[in-house]
């Protein structure tokens, strides 16, 4: 299996002023993020506003981003939803475009049993040869993929890891404890990167990486070097910024922050556009936090 990378940034999808996917800007932003220290990009995930995009737009975006970064970084394509057949079709199409891996998200809304989850992911993984990374995010899906399910799925050869955003420390630690060394655990939340990697996790799928990849990479490096005291200080320094990016629903804050510093990714798509009053209240709280940090990724 190809090396996917420890620091994966869940990339914001740029939109034009008319609400179309801005593929030119996507290529530019992707190259900036990789140059700044991210090992790969998750395209078409939660942060990329995948639910508001068509399959054609997603496939075009996978292709454009992969063409832009080439072998400098990996592209992990968010190809799955709560429709297994559709997920298989999109996954096969993404593989043909040359993406490096797939993000296999727990289905939202229809709430399958744990057995249904296993069947769903086995069907998708069995349809392709490239790696898949599970994604457990109960706050979005209203369904937790439990420990036993994750362990069973970890035995599938091309399911190589999980992005854990359950915020259940015991569950995450028991996954790390019980899987083989070849199965990786990425933190699904920036504010849990320190604790998860310190416990033996592999990396993070980062929202903050859209803005401060170099600083997130530095934090990971300190942990891996065993310099836990300095790593803890760096984690605590970054923590207010990590949390500010979730003052309101992701990806509204990170898109706002990128636009504020001149990275120009446009407005989101409905329903991910807050009212003017909501945005004003958010900005009063968010701006002072953001102003306390240097942004690694420069406009232009």
User: Which domains can be identified in the chain, with CATH numbers?
Assistant: 7-236 (3.20.20.70)
pLDDT of 1 reads: 46
Active-site pick, 32, 58, 63, 135 = 135
Q: 62 catalytic, yes or no? A: no
Encode the chain in three state secondary structure. Answer: CCCCCCEEEECCCCECCCCCECHHHHHHHHHHHHHCCCCEEEECCCCCCHHHCCHHHHHHHHHHHHHHHHHHCEEEEECCCCCHHHHHHHHHHHHHHCCCEEEEECCCCCCCCHHHHHHHHHHHHCCCCCCEEEEECHHHHCCCCCHHHHHHHCCCCCEEEEEECCCCHHHHHHHHHHCCCCCEEEECCHHHHHHHHHCCCCEEEECCHHHHHHHHHHHHHHHHCCCHHHHHHHHHHHHHHHHHCCCCCCCHHHHHHHHHCCCCCCCCCCCCCCCHHHHHHHHHHHHHHHCCCCCCCCCC
Active-site pick, 58, 63, 163, 217 = 163
Q: 135 catalytic, yes or no? A: yes
pTM of the complete model:
0.96
pLDDT of 298 reads: 84
pLDDT of 2 reads: 57
In the chain (300 residues long), the average pLDDT of successive 10-residue segments reads 87 96 98 97 96 97 98 97 97 98 97 97 98 97 97 97 97 98 97 98 98 98 97 98 98 98 95 97 98 90
């Amino acid at each position: 299996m190809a090396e996917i990378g420890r620091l994966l940034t869940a990339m914001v999808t740029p939109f034009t002023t008319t609400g179309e996917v801005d593929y030119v800007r996507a290529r530019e932003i992707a190259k900036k993020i990789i140059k700044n220290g991210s090992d790969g990009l998750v395209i078409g995930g939660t942060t990329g506003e995948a639910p508001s995009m068509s399959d054609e737009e997603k496939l075009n975006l996978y292709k454009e981003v992969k063409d832009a970064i080439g072998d400098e970084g990996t592209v992990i394509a968010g190809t799955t939803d709560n429709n297994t057949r559709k997920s298989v079709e999109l996954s096969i199409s993404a593989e043909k475009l040359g993406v490096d891996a797939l993000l296999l998200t727990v289905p939202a809304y229809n709430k399958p049993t744990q057995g249904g989850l296993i069947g769903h992911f086995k069907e998708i993984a069995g349809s392709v040869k490239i790696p898949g990374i599970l994604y457990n995010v109960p706050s979005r899906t209203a369904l937790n993929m439990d420990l036993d399910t994750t362990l069973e799925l970890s035995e599938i050869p091309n399911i190589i890891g999980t992005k854990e955003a359950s915020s259940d420390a015991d569950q995450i630690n028991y996954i790390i404890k019980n899987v083989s060394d070849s199965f990786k655990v990425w933190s699904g939340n920036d504010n849990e990167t320190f604790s998860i990697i310190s416990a033996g996790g592999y990396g993070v799928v980062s929202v903050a990486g859209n803005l401060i990849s170099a600083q997130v990479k530095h934090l990971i490096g300190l942990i891996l070097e065993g310099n836990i005291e300095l790593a803890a200080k760096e984690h605590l320094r970054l923590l207010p910024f990590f949390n500010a990016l979730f003052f309101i629903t992701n990806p509204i804050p990170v898109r706002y922050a990128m636009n504020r510093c001149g990275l120009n990714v446009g407005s989101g798509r409905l329903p991910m556009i807050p009212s003017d009053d909501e945005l004003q209240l958010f900005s009063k709280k968010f701006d002072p936090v953001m102003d306390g940090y240097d942004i690694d990724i420069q406009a232009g």
